[in-house]
Amino acid sequence: EPEVTQTPSHQVTQMGQEVILRCVPISNHLYFYWYRQILGQKVEFLVSFYNNEISEKSEIFDDQFSVERPDGSNFTLKIRSTKLEDSAMYFCASSRALGWEDSTDTQYFGPGTRLTVL
């Protein structure tokens, strides 16, 4: 069964460093998302991406964050200058359609990248 993959599974970085989190969505999916989950808290939406541009972003997704689909398979989240509070699990998700296109469509999540900022 196709699945979303993410690399690395765990990233440790120093405060102020740039990190790039990588995702390979399910191959026939068109919509891509990043979510994050601070330890012990709920999952929060960061950004959605379609047709090579951001379609929606949350207030968390400030100028330090960017997303890119550099080729036909990868989807990346870059944090330019990491802060301590960026420590979290970051989930990539993908879906075939949007809710208004197909209300039954589901977002499938990758296994997550645990980011630790020291």
Partner 1 sequence: AQKITQTQPGMFVQEKEAVTLDCTYDTSDQSYGLFWYKQPSSGEMIFLIYQGSYDEQNATEGRYSLNFQKARKSTNLVISASQLGDSAMYFCAMREDFGNEKLTFGTGTRLTIIP
Q: Which residues bind partner 1 (CB under 8 A)?
A: 31, 33, 35, 41-45, 48, 55-56, 58, 89, 91, 93, 98-100, 103-104, 106-112, 114
CB atoms within 10 A of CB 19: 19
Q: Which of 60, 5, 65 is nearest to 29 (CA)?
A: 5
Shorter beta-carbon distance to partner 1: residue 74 or 106:
106
Q: How far is the CB of 56 from partner 1 (least distance, A)?
A: 6
Residue closer to partner 1, measured from CB, 68 or 101 = 101
Shortest approach of partner 1 to residue 71 CB, angstroms? 23
The CA–CA distances, whole Å, from 89 to 16, 21, 26 equal 18, 11, 20
Least gap, CB of 84 to partner 1 (angstroms): 20
- Pick between residue 43 and residue 66 the one whose CB is nearest to partner 1: 43
Residue closest to 91 by CA, chosen among 36, 41, 19: 36
CA distance 99 to 95: 10
